[in-house]
Every structure is written in C-alpha cells, then in structure tokens.
Amino acid sequence: QVQLVESGGGLVQAGGSLRLSCAASGIIFSIASMGWYRQAPGKPREFVATISSGSATAYADSVKGRFTISRDNAKNTVYLQMNSLKPEDTAVYYCSTKWRGDYWGQGTQVTVSS
C-alpha cells in the first residue's frame, strides 16, 4: 500500500532553517507529482509547494523565495528546504501525492518561535 512518512520537523527560532523529508513507498515515485501542505491550529490545510515528475515546481506566494522543494528519485524522497522561517510558518506539514489516489502522510510539526 502507499505510505508517506514525513520527518525533519522541530522547534526553530525565527530566521532559522529546517529541512523536511518525505519517504514514499508503494508508488512509482519517479512518475508521481508530490506536494507539501500545512495546517496551522484553527486554520484549514493550505498548499505550500509541489514538484512534478519532471521536477517542475510551484509555490504558495507566502513561501516563495524562502522554501525550496526537491526530489531524489533514487531514494523515493521529496524534500522541503525551509529558510528564513517566520512564526506564521508554524504548522503541521504534510506530504501528499495524487498518484492513482489521494494519499497523505501523518504530518510533522514545525514550530517557529519569535
């Protein structure tokens, strides 16, 4: 079955950096588009970034220029490099793919202190 496992979250001060990872299994990763989403307390889940099978990327305006999504097909892993973090980036971050279905990971908490 499809499994998406996120890691790399944590507590960081404003201005700091974190790199999230999402290891995928049960899919043909090299042809799957992958995405990162986040959900802050009391708010709906929102789009953060996506990367196609051809490594084309797209970002939410709120993270453009600070976050970078990338993928390593040899490791079946997608990454989210987050720089210049702000308190408003605090959320649970989820990895997702719509490869033959709609799949989500369990999420990883990112907390940015001011």
Percent of the chain with pLDDT over 70: 100
Q: In the beta sheet, which residues pair with residue 102?
A: none
Q: Which of 28, 82, 22, 75 is nearest to 53 (CA)?
A: 28
Residues 12-39, mean pLDDT to the nearest whole number: 97
Q: Which of 74, 75, 73, 79 is nearest to 57 (CA)?
A: 79
The rounded mean pLDDT for the chain is 97
